[in-house]
Amino acid sequence: MNPKVDFYFSKDKWQQEIGLLRKIVLDCGLIEELKWGSPCYTFDKRNIVLIHVFKEYCAVLFFKGALLKDTGHILIQQTANVQAARQIRFTNVKDIVKIKATLKAYIYEAIEVEKAGLKVTLKKTSEFNIPEEFQQQLNKKAGLKKAFNALTPGRQRAYIFYFSQPKQSKTREARVEKCIPDILNGKGLND
């Protein structure tokens, strides 16, 4: 147990559940670290799983969950845009106890995936749908298109997802307009 992570397990909601998940994960021989404000468990300095809490559930996130066999059909892809990670969600201690052996088997499989050096084949940025409002700006402004193409694939995807989220075209347009200066300056969405 890493004392830098202890604060996370004293949260009011899900305290029992995440405490039990912590014991299970640590029992698999992983190293506990604090990353992204959450307990992250590594093997040979490579991320294997993360414990995190949400309003409706707590979860164990497998960084390369898409490569696991998921024989128990319990892995969840959080959104359509998440390519590699998968979660197992819990709403009570009983559910964790019920699948403890399966959870450990998944963790050991995730360790083997890392040992084997397997990688998730990620979609290219060009395979994502660019919102019409942003595509229009790219077509009109050659400098914007050049600047966008010069961004890293991760930064490009972040903008595409951000522009795609709103349901109303007006909101998508406003987001695009607001971000154009940052794109032209080579900045990512959160830089």
Backbone angles phi, psi at 2, to 5 degrees: -100, 120
Mean pLDDT over 1-6 rounds to 88
Mean pLDDT over 90-99 rounds to 96
**Which pLDDT tens digit goes with each residue over 5-53?**
999 998 778 999 999 999 999 999 999 999 999 999 999 999 999 999 9
pLDDT band at residue 124 using 50, 70 and 90 as cut-offs: confident
Instruction: Name the amino acid, one letter, at 169.
Output: S
pLDDT band at residue 3 using 50, 70 and 90 as cut-offs: confident
Other CB atoms within a 10 A radius of the CB of residue 5 amount to 18
Other CB atoms within a 10 A radius of the CB of residue 18 amount to 24
pLDDT band at residue 79 using 50, 70 and 90 as cut-offs: confident
Q: Which domains can be identified in the chain, with CATH numbers?
A: 3-115 (3.90.1150), 125-184 (no CATH)
Please give the C-alpha separations between residue 115 and each of 47, 110, 111, 112, in angstroms, as whole numbers: 12, 9, 6, 5
**Which pLDDT tens digit goes with each residue over 131-175?**
999 999 999 999 999 999 999 988 998 999 899 989 999 999 999
| pLDDT at position 123 | 81
